[in-house]
Amino acid sequence: MKLASFAIGGRKTYGPAVSGGFVDAGARFGSAAPDLLTALATGRLDDLRRLSALPSDVGAEDIRWLKPIESPGKTICVGVNYRGRNEEYKDGAGQIGYPSLFLRVPQSFAAHQEPLVKPPESVQYDYEGELAVVIGERGRRIREGDALSHVAGYTVCNEGTVRDWCKHGKFNVTAGKNFDRSGSIGPWLVTSDAVGLDPLRVITRVNGEVRQDDTTDRMLFPIPTLIAYISTFMPLDPGDIIVTGTPTGAGARFDPPRFLSAGDSVEVEVPGVGTLVNTVVDEPLAESSRERYERATT
């Protein structure tokens, strides 16, 4: 089952994808489950499956895509999690024994088909195609053998990174990972039962050119390991997102580097989950009072 969050006119809602469009679950559940996060938290996946047997309420051409989970409580990202990634850094350091983790705020992600925003402070704006896990059942100190039972489903992420702002502190990537709408996530959440247990392929294309192509069985820390490790130090709640790491081939790793510019199209595909598409735009700078005065007097 594919579950999307979307806007119809000025109203935000969500629901399962069906032939011809989407069922409006938000209108049916009302205040009891107005968004997908609440639907997960209140255990409504079976109700959503029943809705997926209905005809569509709205066509795909009539919606504006929203992030599947608009405001997750936590988005935990994993660094250096595919074979070959550690060697890309060329720093002589060996592979570490535990996952490298950092957090992203919801505002740092755009939705499917929304613009990715390149900030004026950067000349090293980069892409990172990744698989993201959405938690469906709360847990703390989850055992690896039980981990996948806590997963509601999967979505696709471009964990866009402002590289030159990842170097401002000795051990700090927070700034470079949290510029407004520098990454994206979507287009929808695909439930675990529809994805299965086989390895998934992660492909990133920039302007149609394949830059990244790898499979999730090459993760250094598989998804159950990540869930077990993260839930040791904090509970995982419904709607929390774990972004599982990017394969080799990000723009910074080319020689010379191949960073993103306005007009570039970035497409991250995970067959069986979805294809996330965004175009890069330059962030418009607010006009200063001095500039407004000079424009008005010339």
Report pLDDT digits (tens) over 94-120. 667 899 999 999 999 999 999 999 999
pLDDT of the residue at 172: 84
Q: Check residue 35 and report its DSSP letter.
A: S
pLDDT of the residue at 84: 73
CA dihedral 205, 211, 214, 218 (to 10 degrees): -130
Say which range, 32-46, 165-179, 232-246, has the weakest mean pLDDT.
165-179
Query: Quick one: tokens of 44?
Result: 């409504």
Whether residue 58 sits in one domain with residue 130: no
Whether residue 140 sits in one domain with residue 42: no
Task: Give percent of the chain above pLDDT 70.
Answer: 92
Report the alpha-carbon distance of residue 18 to residue 5 in Å, rounded. Answer: 14
Report the alpha-carbon distance of residue 68 to residue 258 in Å, rounded. Answer: 29
Query: Quick one: tokens of 229?
Result: 């490790």
> Looking at the domain assignment, is residue 132 inside a domain?
yes
pLDDT of the residue at 14: 98
> Looking at the domain assignment, is residue 297 inside a domain?
no
pLDDT of the residue at 294: 58
Whether residue 138 sits in one domain with residue 41: no
pLDDT class of 87 with cuts at 50, 70, 90: low
pLDDT of the residue at 233: 98
Q: Is 235 exposed, middle or buried (0-12, 13-18, 19+ CB in 10 A)?
A: middle
pLDDT of the residue at 96: 74
pLDDT class of 124 with cuts at 50, 70, 90: very high
Whether residue 264 sits in one domain with residue 231: yes
- Inter-residue contact 147 to 221 (CB < 8 Å): no
Query: Quick one: tokens of 58?
Result: 């709205």
pLDDT of the residue at 291: 55
pLDDT of the residue at 285: 80
The rounded mean pLDDT for the chain is 93
Mean pLDDT score, 187-200: 97
| Domain span at 36 | 2-65
Domain termination site, one of 39, 65, 91: 65
> Looking at the domain assignment, is residue 292 inside a domain?
no
Q: Are strands 75-79 and 100-103 parallel, antiparallel or unpaired?
A: antiparallel
This prediction's pTM? 0.92
pLDDT class of 83 with cuts at 50, 70, 90: confident
Mean pLDDT score, 200-218: 98
